[in-house]
Amino acid sequence: MRGTGRAKVNKRFLIGRKIPAGWMGLACAALAVAAAPEKRVPYDYRPADLGQARPQGGAMIMPGSFLREYDPITILYGRDLNPKAPGPLDRPDSLATLKPEQPGEWRWLDPRTIEFRPAVPWKPMQAYVVKAGGESKILTALLTPPISISPAGGSEGLEPFSRVELEFSQPVAPEVLAKLVTFEATPLPGIESKNARVYGPAEYHIKSLEKGGPGSARYAFIFPRPFATGQRIRTVVRLAEDPSLSDAKRVYSADTRREFTLEKAGTFEYQFTLNAEGSNYGRDQAIRLPDDGSLILDFSAQPEGLSLSQVKSLLNFSPAPRRMDWSLSQKRITIKLSVDQERLYQVTLAPTGIVDGDGRKLRLDHACRFWIYQPLDRQYVRWGLGQGLLERYGPQHFPLLVNGVKSLDLRIYKISAKHKAFWPYPDEPVRVDESQAPPGPGEEPEREQDILRPLGAFEMDKHIRMLGAPHYSAVIDLDQEGVTRFQSLDLKPLFAKISGPDKPGASARWMGAPNGHMCVCWLPTWPSPRSRRNVRRVSRSPRFRPGSPWPMPRSRSKARSRTNWRC
């Protein structure tokens, strides 16, 4: 029997037979050997963006301004310097310098390109000076968001506290934390952040705590006095001091215990904040009920001994609904309503004698009123498509759906259009977790010539993380670029900065997401309608699809020229 990497056992032979212990030991040993993982041998991986951009003269240092945890530094030269590339660069000082020093490896990617990949994450907020080919650039490492916080974000009903703990994946200097971390306190419900009480470094001191394990650095922010009751405490962690990255921050909130009051009212998706002094919301702020007619009331504590008469005294509708049912679950009352369609209903919450488990009476000094009908907007930013086809000489807009977001981090890689790791392009954007280190020696993805089938999103993730520094990276103003108004991004001037005006190619776009992940989409450029004949001539080929490395059977169908992009 040939060695296939799997041991086969005849089950019929084993049934009803006594097997010597020595034989059984040999069989177990054979199974263990067969299950042993194959040892991977490192090799010089060729990323898809290699050789896609060249400087006009001298040297080009990438990325633009900032470094994330494991971002590489790529240096492109205008002429061949090492005909033996790729391979390790033993003496990088003759070509480039990096100050201060960082553990990592310099390598030749091709005769004109060298790259430095860090072995450990860049030190947060450290400014690194890179010099090569007469060029010099200062790159600043961003702060990695904390991996945990105590009290946890979103905590409610806490006793007054005077200590906040943050845990990071790597050590951060206390003086850096003092510049980037601030605290805000606002009275509940905490919606008036403009009038918040801000606590700076002079009002707390930072203490380094024992590590929770590998990859853990914990710090405590200690205040001289506890925060008062009925307060929302916001912990604001900025990731950079640069004003252009004002949106690059993490905000965590925790609420201290408050009086027994009505906090919110509305639907499961949209709620109004209520005040014990009385809250009134007009018709223009009406919210729409869901299909099942659910209306919810949230208390600061669980009501005790709630009766139907108390609910009816608390809730008043004008006009009256056809039917009303209610149920209590912890601190929430859920009301099921049967109402007429396309009709506004005013909801009035009147003072009543409801108490909580501690015997505290519900504090509602004046009635609260709101209207039921219309929803509110959400905040989001996402690519409209996972891939598309742009004209070389025509418009080069790509759909980018945004609402309530002012800026985002955009990165563009120019890649080979026929690299089999990225063909066919996925229909949906691929999500990449940049907090993970890229594949190291022995962990490289398969070679391009070994790819025999289209890759899935999980397999493509490794190839994406092997890309070098982006050819274009910037924080763009969505209002200034017209994205908010037209819901599309004009890529033509960005492509011109990389390759020159009206140049063909393929590229991958990365967009920073709030959860720390990246959304990637692919977009090759294609001849405009003036080159229709060339497109149709290529599409008649019985062997290959236009621009594709994968063979296809004969087909009579013809490719049609598009004017914007193709899905």
SS3 content of the chain, % helix, strand, coil (to 5): 15, 35, 50
CA separation for the pair 230, 18 (Å, rounded): 75
Q: How far apart are the first and last CA of the chain?
A: 49
Q: CB count, 10 Å around CB of 517?
A: 14
Among residues 248, 252, 290, 257, the alpha carbon closest in space to that of 271 is found at: 290
Radius of gyration of the chain (CA): 31
Residue 540 tokens read as 């008649």
CA separation for the pair 359, 394 (Å, rounded): 72
CB 239 within 8 Å of CB 249: yes
Q: Which helix (H) or strand (E) holds 349?
A: strand 345-349
How far are the Cα atoms of 32, 153, 185, 333 from residue 158, in angstroms, in the given order?
54, 12, 14, 22
CB 518 within 8 Å of CB 512: yes
Q: Can you give the pTM of this predicted structure?
A: 0.44
Residue 13: partners with Cβ closer than 8 Å, 6 or more residues away: none
Residue 264, classed as helix, strand or coil, is strand
The backbone region for 133, taken as left when phi is positive above 0, alpha when psi lies in -120 to 50, beta otherwise, is left
Among residues 371, 425, 394, 429, the alpha carbon closest in space to that of 530 is found at: 394
pLDDT per position in the chain (567 positions), as tens? Answer: 444 444 444 444 444 445 455 544 544 444 444 455 566 666 666 677 676 666 666 788 888 888 888 889 998 888 888 878 788 888 888 888 999 898 999 998 888 888 999 988 888 888 899 998 888 888 888 888 898 999 999 998 888 899 999 999 888 889 989 989 999 999 887 887 778 899 988 899 999 998 777 778 899 999 999 998 789 999 999 888 877 777 788 899 999 887 888 989 999 988 999 988 899 999 888 888 887 889 999 998 889 989 999 999 999 999 988 889 999 999 999 999 888 877 889 999 999 889 988 788 898 999 999 998 744 446 677 877 777 777 777 888 888 888 767 888 888 888 877 788 887 777 777 777 777 888 888 888 888 888 888 888 778 888 888 888 888 888 888 888 888 888 888 888 888 888 788 776 655 554 444 333 445 555 555 444 443 333 333 333 333 344 445 444 433 333 333 323 222
Residue 557, classed as helix, strand or coil, is coil
Handedness of CA 368, 373, 377, 383 (dihedral sign): positive
Calculate the CA dihedral of residues 206, 177, 156, 360 and round it to 10 degrees: 50
Residue 301, classed as helix, strand or coil, is coil
Pairing, β 127-132 against β 135-141: antiparallel
Among residues 104, 87, 79, 103, the alpha carbon closest in space to that of 46 is found at: 87
Residue 156: partners with Cβ closer than 8 Å, 6 or more residues away: 254, 255
What beta strand segments (E) does 194-270 contain?
A: 197-199, 205-208, 217-222, 231-238, 249-256, 262-266
Spell out the domains of the chain, with CATH numbers in brackets.
59-141 (2.60.40.3710), 148-256 (2.60.40), 271-372 (2.60.40), 380-539 (no CATH)
Phi, psi of 414 (to 5 degrees): -90, 120
CA separation for the pair 368, 380 (Å, rounded): 31
Calculate the CA dihedral of residues 297, 303, 305, 311 and round it to 10 degrees: -20
Beta bridge partners, 37, equal none
The pLDDT value given to residue 378? 61
The three-state DSSP-derived secondary structure of 374-401 is CCCCCCEEEECCCECCEECCCCCEEEEE
Handedness of CA 458, 462, 464, 470 (dihedral sign): positive
Beta bridge partners, 407, equal 477
CB 257 within 8 Å of CB 229: yes
How far are the Cα atoms of 371, 420, 563 from residue 417, in angstroms, in the given order?
55, 9, 20
Residue 259 tokens read as 């009086």
Residue 482 tokens read as 């017209």
